[in-house]
Amino acid sequence: MNAAPELSTQILRTPDLHPKGNGRHSPIAAVLLTSGEIDAIAGLLSLREGHSFALYAACDVLAVLAANPIFHALPEPRVARRALPLDQMTVLSDAAGVSLGLSVRAFAVPGKVPLFAEVDGDPGRSDDGATIGLEILDGCQSMFFIPGCAEMTDALRQRLRGARLVLFDGTLWQDDEMIAANLSSKTGARMGHMSISGPDGVMAAFTGLDVQRRVFIHLNNTNPALLACSPERAILQDQGWDVAFDGMELLT
Amino acid sequence: MNAAPELSTQILRTPDLHPKGNGRHSPIAAVLLTSGEIDAIAGLLSLREGHSFALYAACDVLAVLAANPIFHALPEPRVARRALPLDQMTVLSDAAGVSLGLSVRAFAVPGKVPLFAEVDGDPGRSDDGATIGLEILDGCQSMFFIPGCAEMTDALRQRLRGARLVLFDGTLWQDDEMIAANLSSKTGARMGHMSISGPDGVMAAFTGLDVQRRVFIHLNNTNPALLACSPERAILQDQGWDVAFDGMELLT
């Protein structure tokens, strides 16, 4: 569904972002997947050139990888596949087990199974780990990374209350946007996404949550807020939100 | 193995290269796959946004796609999967069956099974259709597209003799290039590729074949001939070869 450049895979880098070794060294030490959708997992195929890293994902998503032999291109032990348990703290380490100085707490959010894994048009709604959010902690600060979320639940609201930084699903501006653009017969809800605007939208859901910094990620290319000069961008900025961009500095 | 930009998937476009429809219209009417390697098939995942096209591949490669559920993102009948028979002429049409004014003759070349499908380190050498070359004809002219080839056989030599245009595997400059760069323990031969230079190389193999235009494609990022100012580029140009680039005009 998303043709626009996006990054729904959380890539953790060692502190120095530049290649330090010879040849094809990569600074990517670990990858965390938040779903099994193609936009979350296909980028792995570009990390097949002998890089060693740890690959963290919920069991559902590891099962998706296991069911597709193409991901044998990322063989153990060079790429260490690790199940990310839900609702507990995991200390992140690279493929060799060296700590990265970061921890993560993964949690299920309302979402759906990957589109390519839907069975007979069943929308595949899932609230038990097919889609997850991440709280990432460095010992001093923490941030939330939630690129896909179908609904703001009370539990999620509690979790996010007072957060320093939240990156959140900004796929669509409004629920019928793909239909209005004649690109799809699906609503955002059908695709497993809240929309930014409207009474049930993300901005409304964050009202009163006292989140210090709020940044939209995973914007679809039908979302008018992608355009820096759009009225929609102005609206979200008025409400204290930003739209992420490459090279953005998030915590200082 | 190839981190450099490359295109080993032959994409056929309708005569007008610009999008003509609304929304996400694509001018791509058909895709021909020449192997099941990731660099040949992963690009399909970027064509999942509702485009309709015909997908031609040899049976071995269709089987690779079928074995990976991730390619359900390209469902029938919108993406019409068609077996490309070897050694006979196939008239190409789009997903709706409308002729594209082009024909193709596919033929097996020495190659190998995809790296991710190798079994227990067996190099998976295959000469029976895991890797194919294409002769593409428009009724007036024809061209050959051979992005991977492990050996110049007598049969291939006969096929190419006197050709108007050949695009050919230029992965490596020399067989031990990846080893010398400390990037891999594999020779080019082990990876299913002839090298450009040397007595058993591509340039030597084309001597006396009277091919009018010869263009290297699929260059690995260790290949010094990628650099326009390199001595290796000068050598291949002296021998009547070019290196392909985006937007190159091939037949006039």
- DSSP annotation of A190 reads G
Give the distance from residue B151's alpha carbon to the nearest chain A alpha carbon, in angstroms. 24
Give the distance from residue B70's alpha carbon to the nearest chain A alpha carbon, in angstroms. 6
* DSSP H stretches of helix in B151-229: 154-160, 177-180, 202-205
**Structural domains in chain B?**
10-243 (3.60.15.10)
Chain A residues touching B72 at Cβ < 8 A: 116-117
* Per-residue pLDDT band at B183 (split at 50, 70, 90): confident
How high is the pLDDT of residue B5?
34
Q: Across the interface, do B70 and A73 touch by the CB < 8 Å criterion?
A: no
Maximum mean pLDDT: which of A4-18, B178-192, B206-220:
B206-220
Q: Across the interface, do B3 and A24 touch by the CB < 8 Å criterion?
A: yes
Taking CA atoms, B77 is separated from A180, A251, B82, B217, in Å, by 24, 47, 11, 32
Tens-binned pLDDT, residue by residue, of chain A (252 aa): 333 333 334 444 444 445 556 677 788 999 999 999 999 999 999 999 888 999 999 999 999 999 999 999 999 999 999 999 999 999 999 999 999 999 999 999 998 888 888 777 676 677 777 899 999 999 999 999 999 999 999 999 999 999 999 999 999 999 889 888 888 888 888 888 899 999 999 999 999 999 999 999 999 989 999 999 999 999 999 999 999 999 999 876
- Give the number of other CB atoms < 10 A from CB of residue B125: 16
Best CA proximity match to A104, nearest among A85, A122, A120: A85
Best CA proximity match to B188, nearest among B123, B109, B133: B123
| ipTM for the whole complex | 0.85
Chain A residues touching B69 at Cβ < 8 A: 67-68, 116-117
* DSSP H stretches of helix in B111-201: 154-160, 177-180
- For A171, the token pair is 């796929």
Kindly report the pTM of this predicted structure.
0.86
Q: What's the CA gap between B9 and B40, in Å, rounded?
A: 5
For range B142-166, the mean pLDDT: 96
How high is the pLDDT of residue A10?
44
According to DSSP, the residues that pair with B89 across neighbouring strands are B105
Please name the residues between 179 and 198 in chain B that touch chain A, using a CB distance below 8 Å.
181-184
User: Are the C-beta atoms of B218 and B8 separated by less than 8 Å?
Assistant: yes
The three-state secondary structure class of B41 is helix
Helix, strand, coil content of chain B in percent (nearest 5): 20, 25, 55
For range B112-119, the mean pLDDT: 80
Please name the residues in contact with B191: beta carbons below 8 A apart, sequence gap of 6 or more: B1, B112, B115, B171, B178
Q: Across the interface, do B181 and A38 touch by the CB < 8 Å criterion?
A: no
Best CA proximity match to B64, nearest among B87, B41, B83: B41
User: Are the C-beta atoms of B7 and B219 separated by less than 8 Å?
Assistant: no
Residue in chain B nearest A70 by alpha carbon: B116
